[in-house]
Structure 1
Amino acid sequence: MPAVGPGMGENRGDVWAVVHRERRLLYDQLARVPPEAWEEPSPCPGWSVHDVVAHLVDTARTTRLGFVLGLARAGFDFDRQNARGVAAARGVTPAETLERLRAVVDRRTTPPAPLATRLVEAFVHGEDVRGPLGLVGDYPGRWVGAALELQARTGTGLGGAREHVAGLRLAADDVDLVLGEGPAVTGPVISLLCAASGRADHLEQLAGDGVPLLGHRLFQAARPPR
């Protein structure tokens, strides 16, 4: 079982290399998807696959200053800011949005947040796109583990998963990673990351006494997982 190598002190260049790889892989897969499939609903309530891809374009374009200014214009409402970003980044057609994704593959701009949030963005939203389309991702487990470690200690109000996984023992069965203490939740590290981040569709990939509690918390949260 491979170990989860990097911690939060990982090299910035390594993080960006992983993020750029994820964007390229997603672009390559989407280039083979028929346009009508882009309207499939995603796990993000109210968003289609097309909307999620536009969100990925928007966040890849975002700078620290741009994020702060955009949040202020949105009345400090994160959901409103996200919706505006999607509207601005979404093309008239899937082909146009796909070209916008290609154009941002190698960007290194980021909102004012820990760099590892770019991993969370790439992996979780990658699944938000692939799942409804029946596509399979090729995720580097050690880096998915790094993203899960960040989520487990970041509050849900900041897009993390701390309240979702508190008092649970998360154990990946495909990388050497165990987080927390309590009733067990076991399964692939990508499913642990996605479920912890609010994607209830990944609960069926998990096992253990802690799964019902995690599912209950996701249901109780009842807010769009962005």
Structure 2
Amino acid sequence: MTESVDSATLWSFTHSERAALADDLAGLSRAQWVQPSLCGEWSVEDVIAHLTAAASIGRLRWLTSVLGVRFDFDKHNDRRLAEHRGTNPTETLERFRAIVTSTTAPFGNPAAWLGEVLVHAQDIRRPLGIARTPSIEATTAVAHFFARKDFTVPSHSTAKNLRLEATDGPFTAGEGPVVQGPTIALVMAMAGRPSYCTDLTGPGTATLLDRTTA
């Protein structure tokens, strides 16, 4: 997988990863739906509602929303999450399934929105003990995007002056002390999830961990 992946392929990866996540969540208990995710204070159900919101809002509605809260993005996210959360987890999951094949996004490279799905899926899977790794093709595309650009997460800044090397795929990026490990662990670390640094090795790992916990 090279750094250059066309938009149609990125959206295809996104649709596949959404569908896989929906299938993973189909049998969750009520207690599992309220379990904390790796994403701040959000529960598993909150994260799913957020993913539904992200796939349901175009540029004009997004601009209207953020202007309405004076660019308070936390408030914007919370309002959109509440809008797309169902009256119960079953309805929340049904709403998520309805956007599996959506190509709606506010703006930006489709790799960013694929990254949104990959990262939040692992935010859910890791705490629940769901052992599924996204496709290496999708994860590699996101890793390249994260390594070269700060967008929804400060991934480029987090990886700056480090040499990242995947042990399960072709991804490499940067120069400096080496950090090695599975591609998904590198992606999650760049997205600011310090728990994934335990899956990484190399002299640059301590620096990466410090940056994810700053």
| % identical equivalent positions | 36
- The TM-score normalised by the length of structure 1 is 0.91
Contact 1:49 1:132 in 2 (8 A): no
Provide structure 1 residue ranges, at least 5 long, that are not aligned to the other structure.
221-226
Paired residues, number: 214
Alpha-carbon separation, structure 2, partners of 1:30 and 1:137:
12
Report Cα offsets for 1:156-207 as digits up to 9, x if no partner: 6x42311111110100000012100111111000010001110111111111
Q: Where in structure 1 do 4 or more consecutive aligned residues deviate above 6 Å?
A: none
Matches within 5 A, 1:54-133: 54-133=49-128
Deviation at 1:136, TM superposition (A): 2.1
Q: Secondary structure at the match of 1:69?
A: helix
Alpha-carbon separation, structure 1, partners of 2:164 and 2:126:
22
Contact 1:144 1:190 in 2 (8 A): yes
Deviation at 1:143, TM superposition (A): 2.1
Choose which of 175, 178, 186 in structure 2 pairs with 1:184.
178
Report Cα offsets for 1:66-117 as digits up to 9, x if no partner: 1111111121122111111111111121101001011111111011111111
**Paired letter, 1:202:** Y
**Paired letter, 2:157:** E
Deviation at 1:142, TM superposition (A): 2.3
Alpha-carbon separation, structure 2, partners of 1:12 and 1:143:
12
Counterpart position of 2:165: 171
1:14 aligns with 2:1: no
**Paired letter, 1:197:** A
Q: Aligned-pair RMSD on alpha carbons?
A: 1.3
1:48 aligns with 2:73: no
Choose which of 195, 199, 204 in structure 1 pairs with 2:193.
199
Alpha-carbon separation, structure 2, partners of 1:169 and 1:17:
29
**Paired letter, 1:116:** A
Alpha-carbon separation, structure 1, partners of 2:7 and 2:35:
34
